[in-house]
Chains A and B, each alone.
Chain A
Amino acid sequence: MVSEMRSKRRIVIVGAGSALGRDLCQRYANDTNEVIAIGLTGGRLEDVAAACGDAPVDLLIFADALDMDAAISTAGRAEMRDLLCRLTYAPFKLAALLRPAVAAARGSVLLCSRETALMQREAVAGCFTDRPFRAAAHALWKCLEVEWRGDDIRMMIVALRDSSDGASVMIEAGRDTGAGLLVDAGGAPLGW
């Protein structure tokens, strides 16, 4: 049997419309990588996943950057619904839909998050509203890590200080250092 060698590493970046997403697209774009840039525009996630095609995915990055400036105590139900959809459900669902492609490459799935989402960090004022939904995404990423152990898929969360942490930081933090599921911008392990 002849195994098919792929000439390029296939990288899917979700949230390519964000500053971080655009930066990542530029940094990964070279002769060794095929970069698929995905912007979330409110369409069906199944259609977003289908647009990525069936080819194996070596690296799937969720880079949707969002800065909020609202207190949790004033967050309305509609606002929380939108945040649940964008920060928690969309990455989780897309990761699940793209799992076959990532598993085929024994690839990695990387979620860009914030240090302010960590329970043990004092929240920076103005970052309260997205905190629960990013924390929920962390919980789901752990669920996926547990559920997908047999697939040899590497799950990872990089918690950035803020959205100005650049793509180079993300790429460096995403290297396989064996640090575990949740790391900081320097790639060091973090507590939840």
Chain B
Amino acid sequence: MKRILIAGASRGIGKEFVRQCRAAGWTVHATARDAEGCAALAEQCDGAHRLDITDDDSIRMLAEELAGIPFDAILANAGISGDQALPVDDIGFDEMLRVFDTNMFGPLRLITALKANLMAGDRRLALAMSSLMSSISSNDWGTQHAYRASKTALNAAWRSLHEEWAADRICCVLLRPGFVKTDMTGHQGLDVEISVAGMLSVIARLGLSDSGRLIGYDGEDVPW
């Protein structure tokens, strides 16, 4: 039986992942930051867990809860946009750290804490949610500087994991969801159902040779 953990599933893309994964026959574990979110998730998946991805104690407790459970895939989906309106001159270190703590430090700490769960699974997919904004070569309009940098850092971290974990045959892949109608985008853009369906189609086809890639919901590689 294929089993997935979706970290950050109380709304938006993560919530839709829970729905579609269950419909596709996955055993689904999912996380939310608070008790209310967990209670809602518990009705929708096979295992609901609390997780604050910015808190190493929270990650450690999750790892303890999941000890011994094999996962075929772990998706680090939790992310924040940061203050999108901040101009370059007004970006302080606190703001940059806040964004990086959730978007890069957290996913990295989470996936390393749960490596044993992946090793016990069959497909060994270490997945992280990236963004077109992480693409330096595609940036011709600026804005959202801290968010962009945090996702670029996530990409680089996952590339390093891909190299470090190659001998363990863990496939480390970044996903690009597209510009999706969520709270983060002010509910403009692509329908979340289409985005997640696309990403699940990508996930279904992933093999070890795909490790280290950044792949869009449409199956296309995103340029670095």
- Interface set of A (CB-CB < 8 Å, partner B): 71-75, 77, 80-81, 84-85, 88-89, 92-93, 96, 117-120, 122-123, 128, 131-140, 142-144, 146-147, 191-192
Contact = CB atoms under 8 A, between A and B. Distances in A.
B160 A142 contact: no
Given A73-B112, A96-B88, A119-B156, A128 B149 contact: no
A84 B100 contact: yes
A81 B156 contact: no
Contacts of B105: 77, 80-81
Main secondary structure of the interface of B (DSSP, over half): helix
Given A77-B56, A84-B100, 5 more contacts: A71-B164, A88-B149, A131-B156, A139-B139, A146-B140
B171 interface: no
A134 B140 CA distance: 20
Nearest to B101: A77
B152 interface: yes
Nearest to B111: A73
B156 A117 contact: yes
A133 B109 contact: no
Contacts of A81: 97, 105
Interface string B140-157: 111101001110111111
A72 B89 CA distance: 30
Contacts of B143: 143
Contacts of A96: 88-89, 91
A143 B154 CA distance: 17
Nearest to B148: A139
B194 to A, nearest CB: 27
Interface residues of B, number: 41
A138 B145 CA distance: 11
A146 B157 contact: no
B88 A144 contact: yes
**Residue of B112, B159, B161 contacting most chain A CB atoms (<10 Å):** B159
Main secondary structure of the interface of A (DSSP, over half): helix
A132 B224 contact: no
Interface of B: 56, 88-89, 91, 93, 96-97, 100-101, 104-105, 108-109, 112, 115, 134, 136-137, 139-143, 145, 148-150, 152-157, 159-161, 163-165, 223-224
Contacts of B152: 132, 135-136, 138-139
A73 B115 CA distance: 10
Contact of A132 (B148, B153, B164): B153
B157 to A, nearest CB: 4
Nearest to A135: B156
A132 B156 contact: yes
A180 to B, nearest CB: 11
Contact of A72 (B91, B139, B157, B224): B157
A139 to B, nearest CB: 4
**Residue of B88, B136, B150 contacting most chain A CB atoms (<10 Å):** B136
Nearest to A75: B108
**Residue of B97, B112, B153, B156 contacting most chain A CB atoms (<10 Å):** B156
B165 A73 contact: yes
A113 to B, nearest CB: 12
A93 B163 contact: no
B126 to A, nearest CB: 11
A104 to B, nearest CB: 16
Given A72-B108, A93-B93, A136 B160 contact: no
